[in-house]
Each structure stands twice: as C-alpha cells, then as structure tokens.
Amino acid sequence: MAYINTASNSSSFMARVSTIVDALATRRRQNRMFRQTFAELSELSNREMNDLGISRSEIRRIAIESSRNAL
C-alpha cells in the first residue's frame, strides 16, 4: 500500500532564527567570560602565577577552557 507523507521535517523560520539568536547569545557570554578570565590572570604577578603553578604562556588556554566549561 502506498501513502503520502505531507508533514514537513524542516523547522519553521522563526525556530531557526531563535536557534541562531540563542547561539549568538551563548557565544557572546563565552567571549565575555574569556576576556574577563584573561584579564584577571594577566594582572597576576609572576610570583602569584608560580604559586598557582601556571605560566604566562598558559593564560590563553586556561581562559578558553574556563569560558567553554562555565556555560
């Protein structure tokens, strides 16, 4: 027996726009968290960095990881 499926699998235009807006908002929050973490770690003295067990070359990586994991 044959049948016709008339249901659309694609989401509505507004649903796609909403998804894009949500993704942009998430990315903006992550970027803000990255900049804040980067700035705070950059302000630490070399002694404070050594006490934490990190080097200046790791600041960017740590800021990226914290911004991705926080949200």
Residue 4 inside a domain? The answer is no
Containing structural domain, residue 49: 15-70
Q: What domain count does the chain have? A: 1
Which two three-digit tokens encode residue 18? 């909403």
66 close to 38: Cβ distance less than 8 angstroms: no
Q: Which residue pairs, CB below 8 angstroms and at least 24 apart, start in 21-24?
A: none
What's the pLDDT score for residue 3? 74
Q: What is the pLDDT of residue 71?
A: 65
**46 lies in a domain?**
yes
Is this prediction's pTM over 0.95? no
pLDDT at 28: 96
Block mean pLDDT (10 aa), the chain, length 71: 68 90 96 97 97 96 93 65
Q: Give the pLDDT score at 33.
A: 96
